[in-house]
Amino acid sequence: MSVKNQFSKYANQYKNHNIIQQIVAKSLIRELKSQPKRVLELGCGSGQVYNHISWKLDFYKAIDFSASMCELHPKGKNIEVKCFDFDTQEFLDEIKDNHYDLVLSSSALQWSKDLSKIIKHLSLITKEINAVLFTSNTFKTIQDITNAKSPILDEVSIKEAFSKYFECEFETIMYKLEFDNKKDLFDYIKKSGVSGANPSLEFKNAKKLYKEYNLNYLEFEVIFVKTISKL
C-alpha cells in the first residue's frame, strides 16, 4: 500500500468539470495486467472507462443509475447498458446468475449505502475487481472550514468492505488540481460532481469559505483497489 501525491494543473487547460474522473478512469485500464473477455462495469457514466479499452471483448455489461448517462454510453452488439442503482435488490437480481472475468468501477462505488453487501454479491460472480473510489478526504479543507461531513465513504470503510471478501492491494493517491484564481476554483466545486459541494455551501458557508480558503488547488483523494484473490 502506498500513498502518493500528484499535482495536476488541468482545470484551465480543459474547461472540463470531471477531469479527475477522466484521469482515474484511464489509470484504471492502464493498470490492468490482462485483457478480460467478459466485463461488468458499475457506474459506467457516458463511457470514460469503456473508451479506454483497446482489446476485443466478448461481452461488456455497463450499469449506471443515471438514464441520461446510459443513453450516452457507447452501444454495440456485445455491449449491454442497463440503468440500475447498485444499492437496490433489482441490481443484485440482475447480476446474480452472471459470471465475469473482471468487474470494473471508476468513481462510483464511494456513493454506496452498503458497499460490503455489493462486494459480497460481486464475489459470487467474479474472481477479480479493479476499482477506484473517491474517499471522504476529497475537498478535505473545504469540509474543515465549513464543518461539513463528507457524504462519501472514508478510506478505512472502503478497505474493510473489500477486504472481507478478497485479498486486495490498495493504493491511495491525493490529486491536487490547481487553479489560476478563486473564481475558477469555486466554479469547479459547483460543477465537479464529486461531493463535499453540497447545496448549503452556496448560501450559508459560501462567504466564509471564499474568505478562508487560501489554497490555489482542490484536493481529491482516490483509492485504487485491486483484488488479488478471494478469501
DSSP the chain: -EEEEEEE--TTTS--TTHHHHHHHHHHHHT-SS--SEEEEES-TTSTTGGG--S--SEEEEEES-HHHHHHS--BTTEEEEE--TTSHHHHHHHTT--BSEEEEES-GGG-S-HHHHHHHHHTTBS-EEEEEE-TTTTHHHHHHHTPPPSS--HHHHHHHHHTTEEEEEEEEEEEEE-SSHHHHHHHHHHS-SSS--HHIIIIIHHHHHHH---SEEEEEEEEEEEEEE-
Q: Which residues contact 199 (CB under 8 A, 6 or more apart)?
A: none
Grid cell, residue 155, equals: 478510506
Question: DSSP assignment, residue 137?
Answer: T
8-51 pLDDT, tens digit per residue, is 554 444 346 778 888 999 999 999 999 999 999 999 999 999 99
136-176 pLDDT, tens digit per residue, is 999 999 999 988 889 899 999 999 999 999 999 999 999 99
C-alpha to C-alpha distances, 217 to 70, 104, 141, nearest whole angstrom: 32, 29, 10
Which band of pLDDT confidence, cut at 50, 70 and 90, is reported for residue 3?
low
Q: For residue 97, give the H/E element and its range.
A: none
Please give the pLDDT value at position 194.
57
Please give the pLDDT value at position 1.
47
- Model pTM score: 0.89
